[in-house]
Amino acid sequence: MHRTRARLSDGREIVYYDEAPDRVPAADPRGLPPVEPVCEVRRDPLTGDHVTITAHRNARTFLPPADRCPLCPGGPASEVPDASYDVAVFENRFPSFDVRTPPPVPSVIDGVERSRGAGRCEVVCFTDEHSTSMARLPVSRVRTVIDAWADRTAELSAIPDVEQVFVFENRGVEIGVTLHHPHGQIYAYPFVTPRTGRMLAQAAARPGLFGDVLKAERAGARVVLSGEHWTAYVPAAARWPVEVHLMPHRHVPDLAALGAAERDELAVLYRELLRRCDALDDTPLPYVAGWHQAPAGEGRDLVRLHLELFSVRRAPGKIKYLAGSESGMAAWVNDVPPEDTAARLRAVPAG
């Protein structure tokens, strides 16, 4: 993997991850004005949760025609000036968090704590091909994506204001995707997210929690794929109709801590998992695939890196909408037994 850094016309950074050396980045011809994000974090006094307010994101690109895709290389609206690329990562033009955002004044209004949304948001383009998907990329390209994820995780975790790095892919209109080009995102949060906070509390109360969960799942009926270094399984308490976790056998805090052999196997198993998900209903599965990593500071020894992939599709042509119990109370009801989902995924012929 060969890394090359450059700048877009408005000052945002773009980083190329290539499988061959000697890239000379093209200049961005658009002449964009400098980015001036305003990202404010407010603390809910009832729950303690952080809520980010970012009015500038209302103007972000929404379902453009293919010939105006900002992720295709070298086009008139492209965020990637080069004529081709393997993997490209750039700062989001409409970030939820940005170290350049000014602090709110005053810091407490109406009894609500307010702080600047310092951090960083990046877009990760998996390929320069518009009409493909991660599941259809060659294993070598998936491996390059993994190296890019790991490199970005290490770099973003070192930013002083960042407390957690979340690598994820949203795919499908049903999920809310506004760009169809194969891509994911990275959020570098200035706080520890609520879900990770709950994991930290559980792991602190029960030493060895992640190892115990993995051991139990590997001995049960919900394993989908397994290798020397990784196991993919449908969790016993799955919230979603399709939900799969992919966990390393070794306790590591984040993607940057993975060794070469672990990354090699991950490239094979992750692509196979996505291929099987797409084969469930003979049509591409809408999904969110998110890498849960340990915080950048305290608790790095408690949380084990793992992927959580889930879909809102509960049957062909049917979507699980988050209704009152889930949206209002965070009390989940799943219509599909996890054992059935695991059996369906295992039944897909190996690719």
Catalytic residues: 183
Cross-strand partners of 168: 185, 290
Tell me the C-alpha distance between 234 and 257, whole Å: 24
Residue whose structure tokens are 């600047």? 116
Is 251 annotated as a binding-site member?
no
Q: Which amino acid is at 155?
A: E
What is the three-class DSSP state of 188? strand
Residue 303 dihedral angles phi and psi, to the nearest 5°: -95, 130
What is the three-class DSSP state of 265? helix
Tell me the C-alpha distance between 191 and 200, whole Å: 14
Is 39 annotated as a binding-site member?
no
Is 56 annotated as a binding-site member?
no
Q: Which of 260, 252, 228, 241 is nearest to 307 (CA)?
A: 252
Cross-strand partners of 120: 188
Is 72 annotated as a binding-site member?
yes
- One DSSP character per residue, 254-265 reads SGGG--HHHHHH
Q: Which residues are annotated as a binding site?
A: 69, 72, 130, 181
Q: Which residues are annotated as a binding site for Zn(2+)?
A: 69, 72, 130, 181
